[in-house]
Amino acid sequence: MVRCLACMSYTVLARKYRPQVFSDLVGQDHVARTLGRAIETDRVAHAFLFTGVRGVGKTTSARLLAKALNCVKGPTPEPCNACDPCKDITAGRDMDVLEIDGASNNSVDDVRKLQETLPFPPTRDRYRVVIVDEVHMLSGGAFNAFLKTLEEPPDHIKFIFATTESHKVPITIRSRCQRHDFRLIPAATMAKRIREILAIENIEADDDAVLTIAREAQGSLRDALTLLDQAIAFSEGTLVGAEVCTALGVASSERVYATVEAILAGDMDTLTRHNRDRAEHGVDPFQFAQQLLTVARDLVLVRVSNNEAASLTGLSTDQLSRLQKMGEKSTPLELQRLFSGFNQLAEEVGRARLAHVSLDMGLIRMATRPRLLDMASLLARLEQLERRLGSNPSAPTEPQPPGASQPPGKPQAPRSSKAQPSTPQVSSTPKSAAAPEVSSGAETTAAPEVAPAPEVAAAPETPSSRVPSAVLDGSEPHDLWEQVVQQVRQQRPALGAILEHGVPRHVTPERVVVEFEETSFFGRQAQDKDSVEAIQEAASSLLASSLLGSTPEVKVELVKELAARQGNTLAQQAAQRREQRLQEVEQQARTHPVVNDALEVFSSGQEQLRVSVEQGALDGSK
């Protein structure tokens, strides 16, 4: 059987419903108004640059401008579409309107051939219009060849360049053109245009089908009409949302909404079932992640703005009602967190090799994460706890800082003995009766940087208080050495830190001997001439303040093994004290009444309690 080819021809909707006047441009009112006003006021530029994504009307607007300039009733912003120039331009056969593909005619020779024809006047029309599509594909030489002609073309020439990548067009070309940026078309605007076309084609469709096509087009009306052609061919007279999703290979809105509801409710059984169904239907994982992201965005808008939700989202009444019910079960902060999670998930799925697996695990992770605590209710519970503690007479009072005045009749309480461990915890040799006069006492043991104990400062400096060197020789070298190190630290902190790693063998008015391990880096630093002089100066100043007389000889020795009787270094002693103090403070914090009451507020339990101790709590200042 022989069929007529003319009877079998079909014009796709994108071509059949291409705008023929500026008022038909969808979503580009700013371009239509600018070009229309320019024609009315006779201020039409000689070169234009139309930029924007695919399918938003760049080439169509170029043809409309050519018709508006060459219409027999023009130049006019409303071409008649009945005269020969309008018909020929619409059909693409007008000899004075040249449409050039920049991808295939991008060489210098192509531009030169074009330039050779430009001086000749138009054959019939009022203007010769040169439309270069995808102009960014021209070579660098071709752009340079265009410069002079583009800046000062003949009066009868109009250039219109169209591109999807304006950043690739040289600035020298852009500066010679009047630029018009074509915007992405909102889904609601495209849905309205789709309904108009369906009404003309006498095809019924539900809201879900129209919105699905409009959203999948992602701002391109040409893509929307192409998808509409595909959906019409798949359906059986009426467009239904689920069938349209099947034809386009995307998940239905019902499936997306059900997945979001399962995540918000933490319903793992339902979520797992939806994941399995989605994989069986061959839904693209990245596309599905983008749909989830869009629904999360709509949820936030519906939750925070009920009055403007319809215009902001472009959803149907049923979809808005469902999203409102979903949003009422969660706080705006929780929904924003959901959007951030979907955004991260979309990025992960886009990079993953096993996209389906990555999507499934990501959805399960979002469904099982703990819900956020409401900050307002949490603060209210903490305030209630503070009031309970404030009315509790057994609650501990806030400690006064050092030197703070006390109320009359209420003496200041002494520091706890735990904050200042006694000297026997550090020294291994029992003190003599005269030792308290030269030792720093308990305060020196608790904090190396504290000044000598009040007993030393208050002792009268008389000849009777001098201690014979025989008593000092080897009796308490650690206490005297600690004072020497503190004296050095005041002038040279780095050297003081080095000396803390040495063990004193003798500290007397005549001689100071300090030992370091043979492999110790600190020992070699302490043997330096400047270090020895600093030790000698500090020891001399200290012993002179104790009225012990002479300048001592300082000797720093390196030994293979430190004698056990010499005890630990000052650094080791400080570390031991610090560890002991840390344990004490941590134990006090864990048993504090405030902490116990706080644990009743939070459901985490004692096993998740973490204690962070500040430096002030270790040295006793807090």
According to the model, what pLDDT value does residue 599 have? 67
Which pLDDT band, with edges at 50, 70 and 90, does 171 fall under?
very high
Mean pLDDT of the chain, nearest integer = 78
pLDDT beyond 70 at 444? no
CA atoms lying within 13 Å on the CB side of residue 254? 11
According to the model, what pLDDT value does residue 607 have? 58
By mean pLDDT, which of 107-111, 449-453, 509-513 is the weakest?
449-453
Give percent above pLDDT 70 in the chain: 77
- Tell me: the pLDDT tens digits for 390-425? 755 444 444 444 444 444 444 444 444 344 444 334
Averaged pLDDT, 24-49: 92
According to the model, what pLDDT value does residue 383 have? 81
- Tell me: the pLDDT tens digits for 187-227? 888 999 999 999 999 999 988 889 889 888 888 999 999 99
**DSSP label of 177:** S
Q: What is the DSSP string of 196-228?
A: HHHHHHT-EE-HHHHHHHHHHTTT-HHHHHHHH
By mean pLDDT, which of 221-225, 436-440, 603-607 is the weakest?
436-440
3-class SS of residue 428: coil
The residue type found at 78 is E
We find that the CATH architecture of domain 423-458+466-570 is 2-Layer Sandwich (3.30)
The residue type found at 486 is Q
Alpha helices in 281-396 (DSSP H): 285-304, 309-313, 317-328, 332-351, 355-368, 375-390
Indicate left, alpha or beta for 556 from its phi (over 0: left) and psi (-120 to 50: alpha).
beta
By mean pLDDT, which of 38-42, 337-341, 566-570 is the weakest?
566-570
Per the confidence metrics, is the pTM higher than 0.75? Answer: no
Could you tell me which CATH number the domain at 187-248 has?
A: 1.10.8.60
Hunting for tokens 């800082």 — which residue is that? 401
| Top CATH class, 13-181 | alpha beta
Higher pLDDT, 620 or 462: 620
Task: Encode 47-61: b = buried (16+ Cβ within 10 Å), e = exposed.
Answer: bbbbbbbebbbbbbb
pLDDT beyond 70 at 590? yes
Hunting for tokens 């005045």 — which residue is that? 405
According to the model, what pLDDT value does residue 388 have? 79
Averaged pLDDT, 135-140: 92
Question: Most distant CA pair in the chain: distance in Å?
Answer: 137
Higher pLDDT, 516 or 225: 225
Q: Are strands 511-517 and 178-181 parallel, antiparallel or unpaired?
A: unpaired
Higher pLDDT, 56 or 584: 56
According to the model, what pLDDT value does residue 6 have? 53
Averaged pLDDT, 323-346: 87
Among 244, 250, 248, which Cα is nearest to 210's? 244
Q: Which long-range contacts (CB under 8 A, 24 or more apart) does 303-308 make?
A: 303/327, 303/328, 303/330, 303/332, 303/335, 304/332
For residues 169 and 47, the answer to whether their CB atoms sit within 8 Å is: no
Higher pLDDT, 423 or 525: 525
Higher pLDDT, 54 or 312: 54
Domain boundaries, the chain: 13-181, 187-248, 253-368, 423-458+466-570, 576-619
Q: Which residues contact 294 (CB under 8 A, 6 or more apart)?
A: 215
Which pLDDT band, with edges at 50, 70 and 90, does 468 fall under?
very low
pLDDT beyond 80 at 498? yes
Higher pLDDT, 418 or 148: 148
By mean pLDDT, which of 78-92, 195-209, 252-266, 306-320 is the weakest?
306-320
Averaged pLDDT, 427-438: 38
Among 211, 195, 224, 209, which Cα is nearest to 295's? 211
Averaged pLDDT, 5-18: 79
Classify domain 253-368 at the CATH topology level: Zinc Finger, Delta Prime; domain 3 (1.20.272)
For residues 475 and 432, the answer to whether their CB atoms sit within 8 Å is: yes
By mean pLDDT, which of 70-84, 124-138, 471-485 is the weakest?
471-485
According to the model, what pLDDT value does residue 243 have? 85
Dist CA 416 CA 547 (whole Å): 33
Q: What is the DSSP string of 501-529?
A: T-EEEEE-SSEEEEEEETT-HHHHHHTSH
Residues β-bridged to residue 132: 100, 161
According to the model, what pLDDT value does residue 544 have? 57
pLDDT beyond 80 at 494? yes
Token pair of 522, please?
A: 């600190």
Q: What is the DSSP string of 158-173?
A: EEEEEES-GGGS-HHH
pLDDT beyond 70 at 23? yes
By mean pLDDT, which of 435-444, 490-499, 544-553, 607-616 is the weakest?
435-444
- Tell me: the pLDDT tens digits for 237-271? 788 888 888 888 888 888 888 899 899 888 898 88
According to the model, what pLDDT value does residue 496 have? 80
Which pLDDT band, with edges at 50, 70 and 90, does 330 fall under?
confident
Averaged pLDDT, 31-57: 93
Q: Which residues contact 440 (CB under 8 A, 6 or more apart)?
A: 450, 452, 453, 456, 479, 482, 483
Higher pLDDT, 593 or 149: 149
Q: Which long-range contacts (CB under 8 A, 24 or more apart) does 535-540 make?
A: 535/484, 535/488, 535/499, 536/512, 538/484, 538/487, 538/488, 538/491, 539/484, 539/487, 539/507, 539/512
According to the model, what pLDDT value does residue 567 have? 59
Q: Are strands 47-51 and 157-163 parallel, antiparallel or unpaired?
A: parallel
Dist CA 105 CA 111 (whole Å): 8
According to the model, what pLDDT value does residue 426 have? 37
According to the model, what pLDDT value does residue 393 have? 47
The residue type found at 298 is D
pLDDT beyond 50 at 570? yes
Averaged pLDDT, 79-85: 91
74-78, 421-425, 487-491: which has the highest mean pLDDT?
74-78
Dist CA 478 CA 412 (whole Å): 32
Averaged pLDDT, 444-466: 39
Higher pLDDT, 370 or 103: 103
Alpha carbon distance, N-terminus to C-terminus of the chain: 101
According to the model, what pLDDT value does residue 608 have? 61
Would you call the peptide bond into 430 cis, given omega within 30 degrees of 0 as the criterion? no
Averaged pLDDT, 111-116: 90
